[in-house]
Amino acid sequence: MDLQHIKGIGKKTLEILYQNQIYSIEDLLQFYPYRYLVLQPEALVDSEDKITITIPATVIEIPKVSYIRKNFNSLRFRAEAYGKIINVTIFNRAFLKPHLPIGKEITLIGKYNSKTNMFTANDLKLFKINHIEIIPIYHLIKGIHSKTLQSLITRALEELDTFPKLLPESVEKKHAFLSKKETLKELHFPSTLEKIELARKRIIYEELFLFMVKIEYLKQLNDQEQGIEKKIDVNKTKNFLQQLPFSLTKDQEKAIHEGLQDLLTSKRMNRLLLGDVGSGKTIVATTIIYANFLAGYQSAFLAPTEILAMQHFDSIRTLLKNTNMQIEILIGSMTKKEKTNIAKRLQNGEIDLLIGTHAILNENLFFQNLGFIVTDEQHRFGVNQREILKNKGILPDMMFLSATPIPRTYALTIYGDMDTSLIKEKPLGRKDIITKVVKEANLKEVLLKTLEEIKAGHQVYVVAPMILEQEMSDLKTVSLLKEKFDLAYHGKIPIGMLHGKMKKNEKDTVMNDFKTGKTKILISTTVIEVGVDVSNATIMIIFNSERFGLATLHQLRGRVGRGNLQSYCYLICNEEKERLKVLEESNDGFYISEKDFTFRGEGDLFGVKQSGDMTFQMANLKRDYDILLEMKKEAKDFVDKKLYMKNDYYKKIIEKIDFTN
């Protein structure tokens, strides 16, 4: 239902809500609090051993404001609490003075010292609590006060009488859930902590059931879709593999066999190739591309960025140099004339493999007979790409490459609509990266090792601190680190910088200078741009490493050790973090991902959420894995019996899935 149905929403408020992806009454009601502040009156006792206490009080003196220095002030007054007069101090709350007349009933949250009779408040509420108060805390929407937001939510609840049925009745009865309306009321206007938990449980079940319905439907859709049964020249494919300048691992051989078997059947390939950083996924995909070419079909290789597309172009062209395949790249920085020429040759069937970003599937580009698509680090297609392919009359085989090491049990559920190939072994000759956790105070040893590697002709990646947006800009953190490294090496070592404010051509120049060895150290906060293979890079230094998840650190570490040179990773931290020791102990991404689940939940394990597929507001894939499995069974039954056809909400979702995958 449209937000304009809510009484009191003006044009300005509407615009702010739209900017925050709140487009309907349903969206507004799903803007859940991210935490709850529980206030309970406590006795006025020394809080040396407690973090804080919460007490009701009454103002008995007009507050005085003192300015200690610029942007720092104190508000002091006397108040009565439990029949005792106490002194109150709160910092940087000068604006509260007009709201604290004598006789005003308030709530103080902070620490009390009986020796000085001083209550140092860290928060102050302009109302008095006499019993437990549960206050919902929302993420800030700039331009809308939290009270206004709650008022809008109240009216939204009044407007909606019926809610979409998101769970099967059997599930609702089995778990004795609150009704949907009561669930929303408890989340936004909580009565007890127990009721909040009941409400949260219902939302978790809804989110996971919805997710598994999509997965089960996609699986059914893929099972039904007819692909192209291809005739492969097995001898030529074997000769190609035998002529490679390196030996394949058993995992690579198995993944290639599985991919080739997919091409031979009439069922459309829909395969996820899961491989750790540097495990050799590209050669697997390249072999299938070559077999697809031998069968008489074109291939497309899609990369998330132009830099990675160029990297794949160089490496795949080298692998296929002894074949007569025509390989081209298409990226945004090319001239219009170059793009037009490639489009013409592609449509005429003169190009066998086209490498580029997802833009190569745009509607103005036509393949003569596209038979195979590889998409790197995307997990799933975006919103319109399946529709684009169908409109072109193409149903190619598809392989999705992912370097995010996901525990196998989770992968089988989360990517249940796909066949999965797994590469765990490292290519022969690759050395484990030596990893060390170092406190920032001991940075000198890292700087000396870095200098030693640079003198040996090698290069270094530096990842700037992962910081909060309001603390400092990306540009500042990168610049500060460059200043420190210039100072340490007396400005004698060429250093490149990458940050979010740079234009694309500037980034390309910096990356090219690093690839060609013109710069020896690359400092960056833009992680995706560092995803380029520079086999000469032997050191990765990550500042503020305690702020990253283990899986992210492992992927960053994988940017070095791409060749046969011994490589090193230094995790610089300001505080001792036991979990970082896992990276000192192991180079196995799948083991590390299991540990990351233990320490953090799914957190950043899955990286950036693809197409909203795994964006849960309350569900947590580690904590709620048993619920996920339960919902998988329910969703399979729901899809198998086509019960979605009787549910308007799911019917609309299914219609979209038919095109968006």
> Of 377 and 257, which is predicted with more confidence?
257
Q: What value does the mean pLDDT of the chain take?
A: 85
Residue 217, exposed/middle/buried by CB under 10 A (0-12, 13-18, 19+)? buried
Instruction: Write the secondary structure of 597-653 as one string of H (helix), E (strand) and C (coil).
Output: HHHHCCCCCCCCCCCCCCCCCCCCCCCCHHHHHHHHHHHHHHHHCCHHHHCHHHHHH
pLDDT digits (tens, 9 = 90+) for 154-206: 999 988 878 888 999 999 999 999 999 999 999 999 999 999 999 999 999 99
pLDDT band at 235 (very low <50, low <70, confident <90, very high): very high
User: What are the chain's domains?
Assistant: 41-131 (2.40.50.140), 224-423 (3.40.50.300), 434-586 (3.40.50.300)
* pLDDT exceeds cutoff 60 at 467: no
Backbone angles phi, psi at 126, to 5 degrees: -85, 40
* pLDDT exceeds cutoff 90 at 299: yes
Average confidence (pLDDT) over 590-617: 55
Long-range Cβ contacts of 448-454 (<8 Å, 24+ apart)? 449/539, 449/568, 449/570, 450/521, 450/539, 450/541, 451/489, 451/493, 453/538, 453/539, 453/568, 454/493, 454/520, 454/521
Q: Tell me which range, 44-48, 368-372, 421-425, is most confidently predicted by mean pLDDT.
A: 368-372
pLDDT band at 479 (very low <50, low <70, confident <90, very high): confident
pLDDT digits (tens, 9 = 90+) for 426-460: 777 778 899 999 998 899 999 999 999 999 999 99
Could you tell me what percent of the chain has a pLDDT over 90? 48
pLDDT for res 561: 84
pLDDT digits (tens, 9 = 90+) for 75-125: 999 999 999 999 999 999 999 999 999 999 999 999 999 999 999 999 999
**Distance separating alpha carbons of residues 242 and 386, to the nearest angstrom:** 36
Could you tell me what percent of the chain has a pLDDT over 70? 89
- Cβ-contact 140, 194 below 8 angstroms: no
- Cβ-contact 465, 598 below 8 angstroms: no
pLDDT band at 383 (very low <50, low <70, confident <90, very high): very low
Q: Which of 283-297, 452-466, 520-534 has the lowest mean pLDDT?
A: 520-534
**Distance separating alpha carbons of residues 369 and 387, to the nearest angstrom:** 17
**Distance separating alpha carbons of residues 336 and 351, to the nearest angstrom:** 18
* pLDDT exceeds cutoff 50 at 271: yes
Q: pTM to 2 decimals?
A: 0.67
- Cβ-contact 497, 482 below 8 angstroms: yes
Strands 370-376 and 53-59 turn out to be unpaired
* pLDDT exceeds cutoff 70 at 609: no
pLDDT for res 301: 94
pLDDT digits (tens, 9 = 90+) for 166-180: 999 999 999 999 999
Tell which residue, 375, 371, 368, has the closest CA to residue 295: 371
Tell which residue, 396, 53, 341, 360, has the closest CA to residue 230: 396
pLDDT for res 475: 52
Average confidence (pLDDT) over 388-392: 64
* pLDDT exceeds cutoff 60 at 254: yes
pLDDT digits (tens, 9 = 90+) for 565-595: 899 999 998 876 788 999 998 888 777 877 7
The count of other CB atoms within 10 Å of the CB of residue 605 is 24
pLDDT for res 346: 93
pLDDT for res 470: 41
Q: Residues 112-129, buried b or exposed e (16+ Cβ, 10 A)? A: beeeeeebbbeebbeeeb
